[in-house]
Structure 1
Amino acid sequence: METVDKARIHATERELVPRLFVRAMFGMVMICLTMVAIYRWMDGPVQYTAPEAPVVIEKTLFLEGAMSGAAKVFAEDGTLIAEYSPEEGGFLSGMWRVLQRERTKARVDLDGPVIVRARENNRLEIFDPSTGWGADLMGFGADNSAAFARLLN
């Protein structure tokens, strides 16, 4: 019995991916890029942003985090609201790191407050007044959003 050392491919190297498919994929990418470029060139509005709704609850908080995942949250007057272990505070600590990066880029004080808002449409958001950066927390999942919701109570 004879052993075969080569893989059993019945097509030549040129035919593994037909040239027509490669051209079609390249064409689709170019069409998408062209459509986006034209839309942005015509000043098309940004869509699929969170809908605006009245603010129900708003708190000014100070976040303090660590690379281990531990986090502390302080009220405006400096009292400790919550302290999380590395297992519990991962998302809060992650947000603290994002804030540190944004504040470093903007060259503002790293220890400034953040505003956490609950809106009428059940959406939570975090906003940094020193940089203008903000995020809709719904996009991070229910558990992570709930970590900030508990701070508003």
Structure 2
Amino acid sequence: MSLHHDHAEPSPKAPLLVIAAIAALSLALAASASFGLVERDAVPNVSRAAAGTQANAIRSLTFADAPDGAVLIDDGTTGERIVRVEPGTGGFIRSTVRSLVHIRRSQGISARTPFTLTRWDDGSLTLSDPTTGRALELGGFGDDNRAVFAALLPEEAA
């Protein structure tokens, strides 16, 4: 008794071509973001003036690391200390600022140049870097994380 199987049957080519096309497209999109051809930000930076939105609270902020690991947040105009974020706390502030500072370092820009925190009349909150043009819409990270930055605005504006 002989069990002979013919393995010379051709594979369907259409599904294989579709899989290859999807893989190639994925690689091309990832590479375009890596090379700066496509913005990496999840929320596009739309001109607020074009959208008819006005700023109703603005504060210039500087962020610095203390020797003990704390993050020092100062008013970028007056130099007044706003808050000291103790080591092991403030994870959202740390990660948000770290991502913006990383972009600055890659372009040779000082980390001490102030960032701008803006609350708009539509209630949205933006942390922007005027030196690189990058802006993060903080509402997209949830109410609790947005509130952490909203607390950095002056009392009468918060």
| TM-score, scaled relative to structure 2 | 0.63
What amino acid does structure 1 have at the position aligned with 2:19?
M
Residue 31 and residue 101 in structure 1: after superposition, are their counterparts in 2 closer, same or farther (change >3 A)? closer
Find the counterpart in structure 2 of residue 56 from structure 1.
56
The separation in 1 between residues aligned to 2:129 and 2:109, in whole angstroms, is 11
Q: Deviations over 1:85-142 (max 9, x none)?
A: 2343111122232232111122122211010000112111111122222211122222
Q: 1:28, CA displacement in angstroms?
A: 5.5
The count of residues paired between Structure 1 and Structure 2 equals 127
Written as runs of structure 1 = structure 2, the 5 A alignment for 1:44-123 is 49=44, 52=48, 53-65=53-65, 70-75=70-75, 76-123=77-124
What amino acid does structure 1 have at the position aligned with 2:59?
K
The separation in 2 between residues aligned to 1:31 and 1:113, in whole angstroms, is 39
Aligned-residue CA RMSD (Å): 3.4
Q: 1:80, CA displacement in angstroms?
A: 0.9
Q: 1:29, CA displacement in angstroms?
A: 5.9
Residue 137 and residue 65 in structure 1: after superposition, are their counterparts in 2 closer, same or farther (change >3 A)? farther
Q: Give the match's secondary structure for 2:87.
A: coil
Gaps of 5+ in 2: 1-6, 29-42
What amino acid does structure 1 have at the position aligned with 2:104?
R
Residue 106 and residue 18 in structure 1: after superposition, are their counterparts in 2 closer, same or farther (change >3 A)? same
Find the counterpart in structure 2 of residue 6 from structure 1.
none
Gaps of 5+ in 1: 1-11, 34-47
Give the fraction of aligned pairs with identical amino acids, expressed as a percent: 25
Q: Is the 8 A contact 1:60 1:113 kept in 2?
A: yes
Residue 62 and residue 31 in structure 1: after superposition, are their counterparts in 2 closer, same or farther (change >3 A)? closer
